[in-house]
A and B are shown apart, each in its own frame.
Chain A
Amino acid sequence: MKTEESYLEEVTASEYKYGFYTNIESDKVPPGLNEEVIRIISAKKNEPEWMLEWRLDAFRKFQKMTEPKWPNVTYPEPDLQAISYYAAPKKKKELESLDEVDPELLKTFEKLGISLDEQKRLTGVAMDVVVDSVSVATTFKAKLRELGIIFCSISEAIQEHPELVKKYLGTVVPKSDNYYAALNSAVFTDGSFCYIPKGVRCPMELSTYFRINEAGTGQFERTLVIADEASYVSYLEGCTAPMRDENQLHAAVVELVALDDAEIKYSTVQNWYPGDKEGKGGVYNFVTKRGLCERNAKISWTQVETGSAVTWKYPSCILKGENSVGEFYSVAVTNNYQQADTGTKMIHLGKNTKSTIISKGICAGKSNGSYRGLVKIGPRAENARNFSQCDSLLMGDGCGSHTFPYIETQNKSAKIEHEATTSKIGEDQIFYCQQRGIGEEEAIALIVNGYCKDVLNQLPMEFAVEAQKLLAISLEGSVG
């Protein structure tokens, strides 16, 4: 297996490993949500009039909406008026190189094991780093530019490539799609933008690291990835968050557009602060992710979700074009008092469309994990195919695992197979490992990684290693 070595890594800290935060001065807008705040955000970012109008329109739609109650999670409703919607590092000037980045910040990334220079030199991954909503460093731009690939912050894209942003923003996730998507549309401060031109195969994994880093700052990233005809891109997104006592709201929107014959692979390792062992604190992660596939296009979502106190997230595919393919591979781990309601929607509209769903849930402690998925076969989707496998692994008798698949079929030629199982880690499996000298915690990590293999195999190598470490860390202390 490609990442064997990682098992051998010693897992040290049992508390949240990335629970520290960087001390960077912020330029902050006072808390509150109103039209004025949106105007300030737009002005601070020097946005054109159409963008402001777009935001205001979203805000008006948002005001008519209410928070969704259907996910299988409970939490105190976040006070949106107590959130500051804009925070940016004070130094606003363009950075030429990493040397100009705040050294405090570089240290933070080192602690995370993702030092920029290392990444740059060794892995060839271009980094667009978002700290508190504003990009401070972008690398490898030159190389990408040669190929005509645009990879920048969304703010920059609004300035530099307004025609692309205007054409695609909000086309996959409409402003009024849901409560938090509408909020995001109104107040998003930054995020990433990526455009791959016709026929271009992006030679490196594009990657962003998001990080919440300012007390009381909500995060409203906006990501837009457009793969033009017959292009290919693999996009990575990873999250870590500092230890914090109060709840933090994260409501991102990700839109993917795969035009004819294009392919987008979108991978996420999510490790926001999950709260402490008593369920205090932790991030609320309410994300809308959706991709649109045109003819022969393919979108593949892979996610490893270990963090956040409360998650609801359904990376979805609209299979509009003939022969398009949607995939969803997910590992969701919950421990202590975490709650996750996650899954996908595969909307088959075109002929010969195919989708695959592999979901592996692992619940420990007092946590609750739900798979919620929709497979919809439209009347014109001749010969649509879906295969879904949703497995749950339970550890301890205080947790809950739930499966809510919705399957709607309006075409006789559809072939759909859905399977779900729930089981616990076998004591005999653990004993067997122990007899060979593998301690209980390592045994569980080993078994869990084996159980998740089909999903982990979908991740790019460096992410797979990190994901496995995260699984082990997340489940520490969950047996006994």
Chain B
Amino acid sequence: MLKISNLQAGIEGKEILKGIDLEVKPGEVHAIMGPNGSGKSTLSSVIAGREDYEVNGGNIDFEGEDLLDLGPDERAHKGIFLSFQYPVEIPGVTVTNFIKTAINESRKAKGEEAMPANEMLKKMREKMSLLEIDNAFLSRSLNEGFSGGEKKRNEIFQMAMLEPKLAILDETDSGLDIDALRIVANGVNKLKSKNNAVIVITHYQRLLDYIVPDFVHVLYKGRIVKSGDKTLAHELEAKGYDWIKEERVEG
């Protein structure tokens, strides 16, 4: 599904990713962990196509297509979803209106008709109950005045509505209390299928107790320095990242 080879990228002339290789197949959950500043958020931004980042080498292949040539909206149409670490506020634009626009723009790109209103409504109700969102939420301005938990729940709600093939959750656990974390994780798990994949980017093991990864990768100084299964995450939690750093030095 997603194949990243020797990806090098940076921002304002500063090199951050120094050759990333990663392959994600349908049905898999990958966790990318690493200390602050290791390049986790850069990786998610580059996959989603944020223009501030310069790609200096390597490529990203998504279902046989080179992603790097596509704009961020075109990547979204292909089925890539990024749950933002800091979702932006858009005053005056309601959650409903935003989601409706997003869904129908994607459909339009695929040459499909706009989703009929009743179908949209039905789907919204269904996903709202999944994420324990109430009606009033839908008519609020997007992310404006939302608590941290509401913002993250809104991200996963949008993910549920858009049904992406590949979802990247960038620090979705940050700022969440344990109840909100459980709701969000539960939502993600319910949306998982053999046809889609999830990349969880996180600093801590906490979220991985709820969204159990098939693979764990450790990102350090712009490179994936270690990969393993979920036990690697526990090991990191127990030993901290210093252990990796030391290993790097010794190696």
Say if the two chains contact directly (CB < 8 Å): yes
A residues apposed to B, CB below 8 Å: 1, 4, 7-8, 10, 426-429, 431-440, 442-443, 446-447, 449-454
Q: Given the complex, which residues of A lie within 8 Å of B35, measured CB to CB?
A: none
Q: How far is the CB of B118 from chain A (nearest CB, A)?
A: 13
Q: Chain A's nearest CB lies how many Å from the CB of B196?
A: 16
Contact B98 A440 (CB under 8 A): no
Contact of A1 among B51, B72, B75, B97 (CB under 8 A): B97
Contact with B73, one of A10, A426, A440, A452 (Cβ below 8 angstroms):
A440
Contact call B72/A431, Cβ cutoff below 8 A = yes
Given contacts A437-B105, A437-B106, A438-B101, contact A449 B73 (CB under 8 A): no
- Beta-carbon nearest neighbor of A447 in chain B: B90
Count of interface residues, chain B, beta-carbon cutoff 8 Å: 40
With a cutoff of 8 Å between Cβ atoms, the chain B residues found around residue A450 in the complex are 90-93, 141-142
Cα distance, A318 to B27, chains bound together (Å) = 68
B210 within 8 A of A: no
Residue with the greatest number of chain A CB neighbours at <10 A, chosen from B76, B84, B90, B104: B90
Which of B50, B81, B94, B105 contacts A438 (CB under 8 A)?
B105
Does B87 interact with chain A (Cβ within 8 Å)? Answer: yes
A residues near B94, Cβ cutoff 8 Å: 1
- Given known contacts A434-B71, A436-B98, A429 and B92 CB-to-CB distance under 8 angstroms: no
Contacting residues, chain A, for B93 (C-beta < 8 A): 446-447, 449-450, 453
Bound form: Cα–Cα A427–B50 in Å: 10
Separation in Å of the A129 CB from the closest CB of chain B? Answer: 33
> Does B88 interact with chain A (Cβ within 8 Å)?
yes
> Given A428-B88, A435-B48, A453-B92, A446 and B101 touching (CB < 8 A)?
yes
Contact B96–A436 (Cβ < 8 Å): no
Checking A7, A428, A436 against B158 with a beta-carbon cut-off of 8 angstroms, the contacting residue is A436
- With contacts A1-B94, A8-B101, A447-B93 known, is A437 near B162, CB below 8 A? yes
Q: Is B217 an interface residue (CB 8 A)?
A: no
B85 to chain A, nearest CB (A): 12
Complex CA distance for A431 and B46, rounded to whole angstroms: 12
Nearest-Cβ distance from residue B98 to partner chain A, whole angstroms: 7
- Say how far B219's CB is from chain A's closest CB, in angstroms: 21
Give Cα A8 to B112, complex, Å.
13
> Inside 8 A of A439's CB, which chain B residues have their CB?
71, 73, 105
What does the 1/0 interface line of B105-126 toward A look like (CB < 8 Å)? 1101100001000000000000
Contacts of B73 in A (CB 8 A): 433-435, 437-440, 443
Contact B98 A431 (CB under 8 A): no
With a cutoff of 8 Å between Cβ atoms, the chain A residues found around residue B100 in the complex are: 4, 7-8
Min distance, Cβ A475 to any Cβ of chain B, angstroms: 16
Contact B50 A436 (CB under 8 A): no
A446 touches B72 (CB 8 A): no
Given contacts A7-B100, A426-B88, 9 further A-B contacts (CB under 8 A): A1-B97, A8-B101, A8-B104, A434-B49, A435-B49, A438-B73, A438-B101, A438-B105, A454-B92
In Å, the complex CA distance between A383 and B141 comes to: 34
10 shortest interchain CB distances as A-B pairs: A450-B92, A450-B93, A453-B92, A437-B76, A434-B72, A436-B102, A437-B106, A434-B73, A432-B88, A439-B73
Would you give the shortest CB distance from A440 to chain B, in whole angstroms? 7
Assess A432 versus B84: contact at CB under 8 Å? Given A8-B114, A450-B90. yes
Those of B163-214 within 8 Å (CB) of chain A: none
Nearest CB of chain A from residue B69's CB, rounded to whole Å: 15
- Which residues on B sit within 8 Å (CB–CB) of A10? 108
Distance in Å: Cβ of B147 to nearest Cβ of chain A: 18
CA–CA, A161 to B23, complex, Å? 82
Alpha-carbon gap, A431 to B51, bound state (A): 8
Q: Is the CB of B158 within 8 A of A4?
A: no
Chain B residues lying within 8 Å of A433, measured Cβ to Cβ, are: 73, 90, 98, 102
Q: Is the CB of A435 within 8 A of B72?
A: yes
Instruction: Find out whether the CB atom of B102 lies under 8 angstroms from the CB atom of A437.
Output: yes
B91 touches A451 (CB 8 A): yes
Which residues from B are CB-within-8-Å of A438? 73, 76, 101-102, 105
Q: Which of A427, A428, A433 has the most CB of B within 10 A?
A: A433
Within 8 Å CB of B224, what residues of A?
Answer: none
Distance of B2 from chain A, by nearest CB (Å): 16
Which partner residue on chain B sits nearest A452 by CB separation? Answer: B92
Chain A nearest CB from B32 CB (Å) reads 18
CA distance A131 to B142 in the complex (A): 43
Asked if B92 and A431 sit within 8 Å, CB to CB, the answer is no
Expressed in whole angstroms, the minimum distance between the Cβ of A438 and any Cβ of chain B is 5
